[in-house]
Chain A
Amino acid sequence: MRSDSRVTFSVPAIRSAAMTQTSSKIGYDKISEGDEAPPLEVGPLTRTNFVRYAGASGDFNPMHHDDTIATQVGNPSVFGHGMLTAGLLARLLKDWFGPEALRKFQMRFSKQVWPGDTLTCTAKVTGKREAPSSDGQVEKLVDVECAVTNQDGTEVLTGTATASLS
């Protein structure tokens, strides 16, 4: 079992320049292919973070909070919810584009996230396009490639997202 004897009861420590005001979101004309979001670093994650997410999401799979059960089936310890990692990455996208911008979010959970991991969320613009929207208007869409890596540089989540900007 991995040891993380250090116990913190705070929300994940945030070391990111991109903070949270909707007014800071970027416009379609200001963004170019190859632009990168300011990375969002979160961690080290603790079991408390997993338990907090279990309560918030209603996902009580014991693999994420019960070390006894998690180790009995061969895991070194409990591990984080995939959708917790996805939620942290979505935060980065929201900080960048605003909460209303996200249209599509695809993710692959490639490695498990363990207590003690520090995650870095990144995103990069891969394309811009205009497409007709459902209400007959033209929607200005930005496609991004995004990833979450752990402290060893291993990708734990890779994904793509599409955001609608004005």
Chain B
Amino acid sequence: MADDAAKAAFLAKLKEFEGREVGTQDGADEVNQAMIRHWVEAMGDRNPVYTDAGAAERSVHGQVIAPPVMMQAWVMRGIAPPSRGPGNAQDELMALVESEGFTSVVATNCEQEYDRMVHLGDHLRNRTVIDSVSEEKATGLGVGHFITTRVEYETLEGEPVGRQMFRILKFRAGTGRQAASAGDGEEQARPKRPRPALNRDNQFWFDAAKEHRLVIQRCTGCQALRHPPRPRCDKCGSYEWDAVDASGRGTVYSFVVNHYPQVPSFDYPLAVGLIELEEGTRLVANIVGIDPSEITVGMPVEVEFVDHDADLTLPAFHPTK
């Protein structure tokens, strides 16, 4: 997307979403005491008008009320919400921005207006419209687009309760001024690669990699080679094993090239190969030293070692010269 014309075409597609209806969403449950209790507990709020029917009855409200700021929560779609079906404007817009790598999200603004108090037994519905999508902005967190929605809240009977404007930033992780200025230089700002989960079965393999040796686990019962490391031989059942040095030569058995989502500790496009060693075992490793578009299945490759940081060295494979 370095190309201005491509950026303009992408923005035009985003702008088509402005004013589109997302549709209505009914709250899963009526306004209820249990969820109010969860909320006020999360806020450390002990006002009895939210939780004590007797005290609430004696108050100006005459009954238990929900905290006004909870409005949004009554229609939240929760964890792993079901698909809203094809053609949903919000789902389509999110898929579109994420297709260009703007996969991270942060809320930036919220405005709420309240028409009336919400009581136990109210059943709320919201109606969402996509208000605006900004052009690409460079922010402290990263390069991204602001997306603003307007949401009307009403009861299932159609009585208005309030409304909300909500603005989020969808951004590319690791492209922000904060990330760039977090350390003395880019090397420091860059997060480390994820750590392998080391245990007594696989430690030897990563220790050997630190010494720039590629090793293969060998059953001392039947001499069968195996990878990834595991405690027991699946040929003869023996728990006895040692390790032998591999030649480091093999072929690309299969591979993928990852573009999204981009994790700051890796370079993209990221070529990940399933390498078949000439000894017969296969392992997963990065393919380097070649344009990813030129990698082919069956290509002969040779190991090299990449010292990612003081604690992590991993094998990678480049085409055989």
Query: Chain B's nearest CB lies how many Å from the CB of A120?
Result: 14
Q: Which residues of A contact B264 (CB under 8 A)?
A: 72-74
Q: How long is the Cα–Cα vector from A53 to B42 in the complex, in angstroms? A: 5
**Beta-carbon contact of B69 and A105 below 8 Å:** yes
Contact in complex: A20, B45 (CB < 8 Å): yes
Q: Is A56 an interface residue (CB 8 A)?
A: yes
Interface string of A46-90 (1 = CB under 8 A from B): 000100110111111101000000011110000001111011101
In the complex, A91→B40 CA distance in Å?
Answer: 9
Tell which of B47, B73, B111 touches A104, judged by Cβ atoms closer than 8 Å.
B111
Contact B41 A74 (CB under 8 A): no
Report the separation of the CA atoms of residues A106 and B319 in the bound assembly, to the nearest whole angstrom: 58
Size class of the contact patch on chain A: 35 or more
Q: How far is the CB of A78 from chain B (nearest CB, A)?
A: 13
A71 touches B42 (CB 8 A): no
Assuming A53-B42, A56-B39, is B73 touching A99 (CB within 8 A)? no
CB contact under 8 A between A87 and B69, given known A22-B59, A56-B42: yes
Q: Is A42's CB within 8 Å of the partner chain B?
A: yes
The residue that A59 contacts in the complex, of B76, B194, B263, with Cβ under 8 A, is: B76
Cross-chain contact A58 with B78 (CB below 8 angstroms): yes
B292 within 8 A of A: no
Shortest Cβ distance from residue B31 to the other chain A in the assembled complex, whole angstroms = 13
Docked Cα-Cα span, A12 to B59, in Å, equals 26
B residues contacting the other copy or chain, number (CB 8 A): 50
A-B CB pair tally, cutoff 8 Å = 139
Which listed segment binds A: B101-109, B124-132, B205-213, B299-307? B101-109
B235: min CB distance to chain A, Å: 35
Tell me if B45 and A91 are in contact (CB < 8 A): yes
A165: chain B residues within 8 A (beta carbon): none
In the complex, identify which listed stretch (B60-68, B216-224, B279-287, B310-318) lies at the interface while the others stay far away.
Answer: B60-68
Give Cα distance in the complex from A102 to B71, angstroms. 13
Residues of A contacting B: mostly: mixed
Given the contacts A55-B38, A57-B76, A94-B47, A83 and B68 also touching, CB distance less than 8 Å: no
Do A108 and B109 touch (CB < 8 A)?
yes
Question: CB distance A56 to B35 under 8 Å?
Answer: yes
Q: Decide if B114 is an interface residue (CB 8 Å cutoff).
A: yes
The answer on a CB contact under 8 Å between B110 and A60 is no
A94–B265 Cα gap in the complex (Å)?
A: 45
Whether A29 sits at the interface, judged by CB under 8 Å, is: no
Q: Can you list, as one digit per residue, whether each of B140-182 has a CB less than 8 Å from chain A (1) or not (0)?
A: 0000000000000000000000000000000001100001000
- In chain A, positions 11-45 with a C-beta closer than 8 Å to chain B are 11-12, 14, 19-22, 42
Please, which residues of chain B bring their CB within 8 A of the CB of A14? 44
Interface contact B108-A109, CB-CB below 8 Å:
yes
A152 at the interface (CB under 8 A from B): no
Residue of B with least CB distance to A20: B47
Q: A74-B191, A106-B111 are in contact. List 10 more A-B contacts (CB 8 A).
A: A59-B76, A73-B104, A73-B263, A74-B179, A82-B107, A87-B43, A94-B67, A100-B60, A100-B65, A106-B110
